[in-house]
A and B are shown apart, each in its own frame.
Chain A
Amino acid sequence: MNQIFPGLILLLQEESRYSQVLDNMKHPDLSKFLVIGALLFIIGVAGVLTRRNIIVIFMSIELILNAANLNFIAFSRYLQDTGSVNAVAGQVFTVFIIVVAAAEAAIGLGIVIALYRNRETIWVDEIDLLKW
């Protein structure tokens, strides 16, 4: 129980633990950035799974890629602080992710335009030519 809900238990216990949480909030570290990245990723996944508009699905994919970028940059900063040899590798990789995202958006939106010209729809559940 204590393992699963650490925040909840901390809030319920005595004031010293409460001030510890407050202190944690005042000094955000690597874990806070990773949690923000994870939540952005999950919002993107939920968007891909629930929306019907193919353009909004593409935007959710951009959100997912961006969450991955945030993780890379956060770990890059952590490695810089711990004195790793090639600490900016994460930032270099992020540049490549942005390049691939731009290429993916260009191709994907080209496909959307071609699709709209032929089928007159942007709803993914109506794009079912390959369904049997």
Chain B
Amino acid sequence: MTLSGWEAVFFWIFAVAALVAGLLTVLARNAVHSALFLISSLVSVAALFVLLGAEFIAGVQVLVYVGGVMVLFLFVIMLVNVGAEERGREEIFNRKPQVVASIVFSLLLALGLVYAINQGLAGLRSQDKAKLALAERNQAARQESLRTSATGTTKITKDTETVGSSLYRYGGLAFEIASVLLLVAIIGSVMLARTAKQEAAADDVDPELLTKSL
């Protein structure tokens, strides 16, 4: 698997965009800015998914993460944010020794991971050399076998079809469990975010009594 030509150019653009936006997510003073940088990072990673030939996952990423989760985040920031950060009095990071230790740990982790990835992949590639060479030769034929779109200018990939059939063939039970998990999450967050008054109404208790005990 190697990208070339414009694909390589777009890879570097989106890779750098994802990393810079991710870094700014952590460094931004205002939580709303953090959320917006996180959105750009997630969209850049979705573009990398497209480069890797996973169009369905890229769509899911944009719809669910950017359209759903990040909107939820922004709502909660608006509800909770006390504006202390913008006034600039509050420190946004932990105490200095903790931050220094974290950064040193992160840099060591980065060096170790990059080294391990390069070493491991060299071994993996030498093991799969024959298969990769075969794939390279068959790539043109595979491109040719794809269906053409109605306009006749582009090819339609089979990615969504294969993901769908694999999801229901091998992951049927996990799929059902995931739906139950989402249901539990919905009910749980509604329960957690109730006010004392709403809680009292649901439990049929006098609200005065409850606020007094708090």
Question: Which residues does A use to contact B, with CB under 8 Å?
Answer: 4, 6, 25-36, 38-47, 49-53, 55-56, 58-60, 62-63, 66, 69-70, 73-74, 76-78, 80-83, 86, 88-89, 91-92, 94-96, 98-107, 109-114, 116-118, 122-123, 125
Interface members, chain B 4-53 (any A CB < 8 Å): 4, 8, 11-12, 15, 18-19, 22-23, 25-26, 31, 34-35, 38, 41-42, 45, 48-49, 52-53
A41 contacts across to B, CB distance below 8 A? 113
B121 touches A30 (CB 8 A): yes
- Docked-complex contact A105 and B73, CB < 8 angstroms: yes
B99 CB-CB contact with A under 8 Å: yes
User: DSSP majority for the B interface?
Assistant: helix
Chain A: minimal CB distance from B74 (Å) = 10
Interface centre among B110, B134, B191, B196 (most CB of A within 10 A): B110
Complex Cα gap A69–B91 (Å): 32
A62 touches B117 (CB 8 A): no
Is B200 part of the binding interface, using a Cβ–Cβ cutoff of 8 Å?
no
Nearest-Cβ distance from residue B7 to partner chain A, whole angstroms: 8
B102 close to A95 (CB less than 8 A):
no
Residues 168-198 of B, flagged 1 when their CB comes within 8 A of A and 0 if not, give 0011001000100110111011111101100
Pairs of residues from A and B, 3 with the lowest C-beta to C-beta distance, nearest first: A110-B189, A110-B192, A103-B185
Contact A38 B110 (CB under 8 A): yes
Interface assignment of B205: CB less than 8 Å from any CB of chain A: no
Contact of B207 with A by CB under 8 A = no
Partner of B94, one of A80, A83, A110, A125: A125
Decide: A42 and B192 in contact? CB cutoff 8 A: no
B128 touching A82 by the CB < 8 A rule? yes
Query: Contact: B48 with A70, CB < 8 Å?
Result: yes
Cβ of B72 within 8 Å of any chain A Cβ, yes or no, is yes
- A56 → chain B closest CB, angstroms: 5
* Closest chain B residue to A105, Cβ basis: B69
The minimal Cβ–Cβ distance linking A122 to chain B, given in whole angstroms, is 6
| Cα-based distance from A51 to B68 in the complex (angstroms) | 24
**Chain A hits for B178, CB < 8 A:** 96, 99-100
Smallest beta-carbon distance A8→chain B, Å: 12
Choose among B106, B135, B182 the residue that contacts A42 (Cβ–Cβ < 8 A): B106
- In the bound complex, how far is the Cα of B64 from the Cα of A100, in angstroms? 11
Q: A66 to B163: give the CA distance in the assembly, Å.
A: 19
> Is the Cβ of B2 less than 8 Å from the Cβ of A31?
no
